[in-house]
Amino acid sequence: MSAAPPDQEVAAPAWWRRSSGNRTLALVAAVALATLLLGLVLGRFVVSPAEAAERAAPPDAGPITVPVETRVISNDVTLRGDARYDDPKPITVEPGDREGPAVVTGGVPAVGTALDAASVALEVTGRPLVVLPGELPVYRTLRPGSAGPDVVQLKQALWALGIATGSPDRDVYDAEVAAGVAALYARVGYPAPAPEEGAAEAVTGAEREVAAARAGVTTARAALAAAKAGPSKAARMEQDNLVRAAERALGAAQASGDPMAVAEATDGLALARAQREAALAVPPTTEQAAAVTSAEAQLSDAERNLASAREAVLTVLPASEVVYLSSLPRRVDQVSVQRGSVVDGAVMQVSGAELEVVASASPADAALLAVGTTATFPAPDDTEVTATVTAVEAAAPGGGDGAGGGDGEDGGGGDDEPGSAGRMTVTFRPDALTDAQLTGLQGTNVRLSVPVESTGGEVLAVPVAALTAGPGGETRVEVARGEETELVEVTTGLSAEGYAEIADGDLEAGDLVVVGR
Condensed to tens digits (0 to 9), the pLDDT of residues 177-192 reads 999 999 999 999 999 9
Residue 374 to residue 386: CA distance in whole angstroms: 7
Q: Where in the chain is the domain with CATH 2.40.420.20?
A: 66-71+457-516
104-119, pLDDT tens digit by residue? 999 999 988 999 999 9
Query: What are 187-228's pLDDT values in tens digits?
Result: 999 999 988 888 888 889 988 999 999 999 999 999 888 888
pLDDT in tens, 298-355: 999 999 998 888 888 899 999 999 999 988 899 898 999 999 999 988 999 998 878 8
Determine the Cα–Cα distance for residues 270 and 277; give it in Å rounded to an integer: 11
Output 269-273 pairs: Cβ under 8 A, ≥24 positions apart.
Answer: 269/243, 271/246, 272/239, 272/242, 272/243, 272/245, 272/246, 273/243, 273/246
Smallest CA-to-CA distance from 130 within 139, 117, 149 is with 117
Confidence label for 28 from pLDDT (cuts 50, 70 and 90)? low
The CATH classification of domain 66-71+457-516, taken from the options 2.40.420.20, 2.40.30.260, 2.40.10.10, 2.40.50.100: 2.40.420.20
Q: Where in the chain is the domain with CATH 2.40.30?
A: 350-453
CATH of domain 350-453: 2.40.30
> Environment class of residue 502 by beta-carbon count within 10 Å: exposed (0-12), middle (13-18) or buried (19+)?
buried
